[in-house]
Amino acid sequence: MCQTILNNQTNIIQTQSTPATQQLGRESTRRERKCNLIDWRRNIVATGRVIEMEGQTVHGIPLSDEDCRVILDAINQPNTPLSISTSFAETLGDVGVGGHTTWPKAFI
């Protein structure tokens, strides 16, 4: 089970690996930061948490330097298209609350 630490000053959640997560191959420290996802018109389409850790992939697709991995906490506009669609999901609504997706860093 992961241990979570909340840093109130910077609004960062840090999750540290424990033996159980290390067995799953997740040995690096994971940092989460609350964020708003915006579209090209600067509308907030969802809120979530950016996940920062080494060697990230989302649904098996490696992240580019321009994208980040996000956990969706709330979706304001479920029909918003994803920047990288897959056979699994094409819109924020397809991903759903609690799901992971990629989002361009320029729109966080």
> Does 27 reside within a domain?
no
Per-residue pLDDT of the chain (108 residues; tens, 9 = 90+): 333 333 433 444 443 434 434 444 555 577 899 999 999 999 999 999 999 876 677 777 788 889 989 999 999 999 999 988 888 899 999 999 999 999 999 999
> Does 5 reside within a domain?
no
Range of the domain at 97: 32-104
> Does 7 reside within a domain?
no
Say if pTM beats, i.e. exceeds, 0.95: no
Residue 93 φ then ψ, to 5°: -65, -35
DSSP letter string, 41-72: T--EEEEEEEEE-TT-EETTEEPPTTEEEEEE
> Does 91 reside within a domain?
yes
> Does 4 reside within a domain?
no
Q: What is the pLDDT of residue 6?
A: 39
The string over 16-28, giving b where at least 16 C-beta atoms fall within 10 Å of a residue's C-beta and e elsewhere, is: ebeeebeeeebee
> Does 75 reside within a domain?
yes
Q: How many domains does the chain contain in total? A: 1
